[in-house]
Structure 1
Amino acid sequence: MTGIRPLTLAWVQQHLPDGERIVGSDVLHGGITAQMRKLTIGARDGSTRELVLRSYVDPFYVEHAEDSLTREANALTALAASGVTAPGLVAVDPTAAHCEYPSLLMTHLSGRTVLDDDGVEARVPLLARQLVAIHAVRPAERPRAYVALTTADTVVTPKGADAAAWAAAIDVIREPAPAYEGRFLHRDFQPGNVLFDVAAGAARITGVVDWAGTSWGPADLDVAHCAANLALLHGPDWGLRFAEAYEQAGGALAASRSERLYWLVRDALALSEEVSAVSQPWREAGRTDLSPRAVEERLNTYVIALIDTLG
């Protein structure tokens, strides 16, 4: 099978029922850390179904693959008994004991990502309700505590940014993290990881993918991440409105303005370090207007808005 290494091909085949075989393979675009392929599985009666193969091939990400794949496998297992629609786990080889690269095999969900500005007003409440449902999951075993890698010293201030606003934002994350009530977190919940069925002008969510970062931590952190992505995709106002939509959907956020600001700013500043990596899949998906420079400008406007609104 073109594009799939022999050991991995054999491993996938071992996890298919008798009479099924791989009859097609297509690259899935949009991922940053792993190679994604949609596999078409054929049965003797001529019917087909689809699976998704995630493989970590980049040496940098291979180093972290065991942790990521184990967390994703555990998350998919926990979500199978929840009301959250996620891929079903078929098999996982987190240490590449059987495959050429660390890999995970899962079921394929219908739907597609929607990143266009058109219809965003209708999609934001759906995203908020979906995130509330994710935070309500209570797994038998908690995932590891969240990790925030960004520090005040690693923030990359965009060229031409509002120096005062960015200095104020950086000062915010110099403070200790606020106390929080732990929740089951996706940790990369944003429009690029949510699948929609859009028919006759209406939209509905068909599932949520990419659970490799699943963690335990504050609901505010997931909300902040989605808000920041919405701000960069659709404009800063949508970042500010997402927290409101989350609360309107029944979600609970930090009580004080300063605590909310901490999480919102922390995630926005984290994106400053990876503007090119974040925006490239968006451009590949058709948002050619979102050049790294355009995204930096939106990020700057969003940071200013956070400081002006909550600072």
Structure 2
Amino acid sequence: MDYLSEQIQKWVVSAVGKNAAIVSIERLKGSTSSVLHKLTLKLTDEMKEVVVRQYDNKEWLKEEPDLALHEAGSLFWATDKGLSAPEVIAYEERGKVCGVPLVLMSKVTGTVELKPQDMSEWIDGLAKELVKIHTVDISDFPWKYFSYNDMGKVEVPGWSSVPGTWKKVIEMVKGAPPKARECFIHRDYHPANVLWESGSVSGVVDWVNACMGPAGIDVGHCRWNLAMLYDVETADEFLSAYQGYAGPDYVYDPYWDLISLIDVLFGPPEVYPGWKAFGVTELTNKLMEERMDKYAVSLVENAERSE
């Protein structure tokens, strides 16, 4: 569903205001699991930019039919707590407008930056923003953390050049998870979901997976993304920066890095299309395999040192 139907356009105008008129519509790049459009509307005395998401992934909707409600609930919570997230304008949970669920939200200023001029400052900003999210205390949020992979069915990947390491990874995550303070987590925090303006983080987007869970899941998922985009050293630098901002409230446990790694183990690793959309075009699937192995080795070595 690459287009924005007339029904959705009317729904957007109705939600924004009766005097609103659509000036332009632009398909946003980077999204791989849903369709995003930015609309510019002319109001009586101002211009307004909004974003509408269409949840058209049937498989995902079958597993989680409340996606629009979940994203809307996450955004309501995030903005109420003062986080840099889009504001909900309207949502349509059951697909009555055009056959798929919809969320209409404000447009956060800024752009995705995957090739920063100053990597250390960029990593520092990523870490600082994530700590801000995790400082939100949460006790009655209806969505709870769960692992994306069935630990009982995970097998050593056939593509790996270090199968022994992966066997250890699998063994390490099969035990009971360590105790951890639960907080508000984004659940998909990575560089392509963070917007920048004038060298600082201006907003975080894609909150549909937000839930109550351990901070280590967000840290681990971002670290995996950084290891795949750049290298293990960048992932380690992010962890150090995060620990510096979080202080004693965060106790690092390699388990959460390992479980985050298993969360993405559904087949041979491939280059995430969103990275290509935002200008990182030099990566290959073969390189992804090599970096996945290197990251797994580093995590196992770290976990063994921690025992």
- The reply to whether TM is greater than 0.5 is yes
Alignment-derived partner of residue 29 in structure 1: 29
Matched ranges for 1:18-97 at <5 A: 18-45=18-45, 47-64=46-63, 66-97=65-96
Residue of structure 2 equivalent to 1:262: 255
Evaluate the alpha carbon distance shift between residue 210 and residue 253 of structure 1 in structure 2; reply closer, same or farther with a 3 A threshold: same
Distance 1:207 1:295, change over 3 A: same
Among 267, 272, 280, the residue aligned to 2:265: 272
Return the alpha-carbon distance in structure 2 between the equivalents of residues 277 and 160 of structure 1.
13
Provide the rounded CA distance (Å) in 1 between the counterparts of 2:154 and 2:264. 11
Structure 1 residues not aligned, in runs of 5+: none
Which residue number in structure 1 is paired with residue 224 of structure 2? 228
Letter in 2 for 1:300: D
1:99 matched residue in structure 2: 98
In the alignment, residue 172 of structure 1 is paired with which amino acid?
Answer: M
- Structure 2 CA distance for aligned equivalents of residues 127 and 290 of structure 1: 22
CA distance in 2, matches of 1:58, 1:154: 24
8 Å Cα contact 2:40-2:47 kept in structure 1: yes
Partner of 2:250: 253
- 2:302 matched residue in structure 1: 309
TM-score (norm 2): 0.91
Q: What residue in structure 2 maps to residue 167 of structure 1?
A: 167
| Residues 105 and 139 of structure 1: CA distance in aligned 2, closer, same or farther (over 3 Å) | farther
Match of 2:210 in 1: 214
Indicate the residue corresponding to 2:233 in structure 1: 237
- TM-score, with length taken from structure 1: 0.90
CA drift at 1:158? 5.8
Partner of 1:125: 124
Paired amino acid for 2:26: D
Which runs of 5 or more residues in structure 2 are unaligned?
none
SS at 2:184 equivalent: strand
Q: CA deviation at 1:5?
A: 1.6
The 3 A distance-change label for structure 1 pair 107 and 274 is farther
Cα RMSD of the aligned pairs, angstroms, is 2.1
2:225 partner letter: N
1:76–1:274 CA distance, 2 compared to 1 (3 A): farther
| Displacement after TM superposition at 1:276 (Å) | 5.4
Identity score, percent:
27
- The alpha-carbon distance between structure 1 residues 284 and 174, as it changes in their structure 2 partners (threshold 3 A), is same
Q: Which residue does 2:184 correspond to in 1? A: 184
